[in-house]
Structure 1
Amino acid sequence: MIARELISTTIPVLHPSDTGVEALRLMNELHLTQLPLVVDNKYMVLLDEDALLDLNNPDITLASIENDGFKPAIPEQAHIFEALKLFNEFKLAVLPVVSKENDYLGSVTKETLIGALAQFNGVKEVGGLLALDLDPRDYSLSEIARIAESNDISILSVQTLTDPATGRLEVLLKTNRMELQSLVATFERFNYQIKYLISESPEEDAVKKNYDLLMNYISM
């Protein structure tokens, strides 16, 4: 999934003729802390609510305001993971998407990004989660997949995280099955260390419920 596919059509842009007051009002209505300033369809800068609140005269036009040149953006062909990286690195409310010529194509919102990541990682699919704790040198996705398949279990997604304190690797497996005890036993037989297990029940799909609650909160 690429950035162009994540563009939200509901995010307006700011223009040089807009005033600080108008920009703040628009941000308040949309529950956003940032909006892009666009001139002749070219992305210029990402304006922040705090900077506008600090203006001595918020009635002046945006063209009259000195900005800090903060201009995070993502190319339209960039992968969804690059968008996630930028959102986290710059604590963004929106992320502008641009063409090779710096034409403004639209913006990605947190809600859109989280929704896409949930689909990408199989979060909304029913199934349990199993985390392995291992030395990075022992990580073999092909072997992990083979062990899962031997238990008639499919791995829907794999996420890895390195503990900076220990150097150990956490490998999180999202599966298509709710009952994972047989898989746990097989991994242990192959000397894998189980870090934690989260099994879902048909009545209480916990991961999906938590995802839905998060999306409802973001939409408030």
Structure 2
Amino acid sequence: MIASQLINEHLCPLRITDSVEAALLFMIEQGVTELPVVEQKKLYNYARLSQLGTLPKTQKLHESIAKNPFPPAARSNNHLYELVPMLAVNDLSLLAVVDDQGLFLGIIEQKNINKHIAESFTYRGMGAILVLLMNDRDFAPSILARWIEENGAKILGIMINHTSDGQLRINIKLNSIKVKAILATLHRQQIVVEHVFMAEDHDENDKKAFDIAFKFFDI
């Protein structure tokens, strides 16, 4: 699933000519804590309730919020799994979507992304989940997929976030509950396996560990 398919048609952006008061009322009405601000159909920046609440109500948004020359935004063809890091890095609960010319297309909410992630992680029934720790320079999805497929399994879903020390934490959903051979291959390749869940031949299925794996997804 790509960004253009996740757009919430009920959410609208703010305009730079909106007043702070109008923006606050509009955000409260839509039930969000932030919204993209657009200028001539291009993304200008984001407005947050916490920020606007401290500003004079009659000010226009372009007077209150500086223009961001590189505002975070998803391209229309960005994959679902590319969106979560954008939200996390920029501390956003929603994300603007733009086309190849940078024109605003719509808004994606994090809760909608989380819903689809949850569905992908349970897709086609039971399957093990591996949580790997890797350095950014060592991460190659195609190589990981090859190692896993050589051991008779396939990747159904993958999710990536950063640890506090800058490593990548890679959550991989498999179509198999047998992981012994896969783990042996990863060990030979010196890949750190932090957790293994829902595997038939590996004993690490306690609820506490499962909660750790899914904490990032808020599901």
Matched residue SS, 2:86 = helix
| Paired position in structure 2 for 1:198 | 197
Q: Which amino acid aligns with 1:199?
A: M
CA distance in 1, matches of 2:82, 2:133: 26
| Paired position in structure 2 for 1:144 | 148
Which protein is bigger by CA-based radius of gyration?
Answer: 1
Percent of matched pairs sharing the same residue: 20
| Paired position in structure 1 for 2:14 | 14
Q: Is the 8 A contact 2:13 2:36 kept in 1?
A: yes
C-alpha displacement at 1:52, in angstroms?
A: 0.9
Q: Is the 8 A contact 2:6 2:112 kept in 1?
A: yes
C-alpha displacement at 1:162, in angstroms?
A: 8.8
C-alpha displacement at 1:130, in angstroms?
A: 3.8
Q: Which amino acid aligns with 1:142?
A: R
CA distance in 2, matches of 1:176, 1:54: 50
C-alpha displacement at 1:187, in angstroms?
A: 4.5
Structure 2 unaligned spans of 5+: 201-206
The number of equivalent residue pairs is 197
Q: Is the 8 A contact 2:130 2:173 kept in 1?
A: yes
C-alpha displacement at 1:97, in angstroms?
A: 1.4
After TM superposition, list the pairs within 5 Å mapping 1:124-163 onto structure 2.
Answer: 124-125=122-123, 126-131=126-131, 141-147=145-151, 149=152, 153-157=153-157
CA distance in 2, matches of 1:124, 1:110: 19
Cα 1:200–1:26 shift into 2, 3 Å: farther
Structure 1 unaligned spans of 5+: 216-220
Runs of 4+ aligned structure 1 residues displaced above 4 Å come to 131-137, 158-165, 169-173, 185-195
C-alpha displacement at 1:95, in angstroms?
A: 1.4
Q: Cα RMSD (Å) of the superposition?
A: 4.3
CA distance in 1, matches of 2:83, 2:134: 29
| Paired position in structure 1 for 2:63 | 65
TM-score (norm 1): 0.65
